[in-house]
Amino acid sequence: RAFTWADGCLYWDSPLVRLKQLTEQNLAMFLGAYQPQLGDTILDVGAGAGTEIGQFSRMVGPSGRVIAVEADPAAARRLRKQVSRLAHHNVDVIELAVGANEGTVRLNVAEDGSIENSIKAVVGMTSISVPCRRLDRLLGDLQVDRISYMKMNIEGAEYDALLGLGSAISKVTQLCVSCHDFTGDPSQATFNDVKRYLADAGLQVSTLPNPTAIWGNYYVHAKH
């Protein structure tokens, strides 16, 4: 089912989720330290069904590029549906997980397309095998030399994904990593590791002063 509003669209199963409000709330926190510009290249790691993709596509315009990475096949299908109806043809959907190593990983599935599906936390009763790439190799394959802004929201796998970015972190100008310590699951606690890793890489690290939701306390912003 398609849910549309003036500046967005999502394909979702349940009409009970307040998609417009959720999208606008999360987008404001993701972009708390940077507003994408026309011509930017955005890397959206953990794009899900595309909660922010429509806005990212509009912000960078026809001269920009959005690379949407999503591990869950069900979410990726919904994401492709949304991308097919966007005004600008500037979004590439990459269906795989990212981590510190190449190969395959198990994605624990709470529900097809769920934002809670995770390769770290045990959720639901089933899991599926999905391909996993290092971000540095993925960006090399895509011939990407610069990322204006990277958003990462991958349910506890953030630190491993940053390790897989390696020296390609120098290609990223601005980024926001959503850490998942707020869940209380130790397997998803990455906030301190992510902050330390980014600081050690020479980036200026900050957090949101007044987040509008509890998980916003664990959004890490950084820039070169």
The more confident residue out of 187 and 26 is 187
Digit-coded pLDDT (tens) for 110-139: 877 777 889 998 888 899 999 999 999 999
Nearest to 3 by CA among 76, 85, 66: 85
Structure tokens at 40: 């930017």
Nearest to 197 by CA among 157, 156, 155, 169: 169
Structure tokens at 144: 């990407």
Return d(Cα 172, Cα 139) in angstroms, integer: 11
The whole-chain average pLDDT of the chain stands at 89
Helix (H) and strand (E) counts in the chain:
6, 12
What is the pTM (predicted TM-score) of this model? 0.91
What is the model's pLDDT at position 16?
A: 44
Structure tokens at 204: 């200026």
Digit-coded pLDDT (tens) for 15-50: 545 555 666 777 888 998 999 999 999 999 999 888
Q: Distances in Å between the alpha carbon of 10 and those of 75, 135, 182, 191?
A: 11, 26, 25, 29
Return d(Cα 223, Cα 149) in angstroms, integer: 9
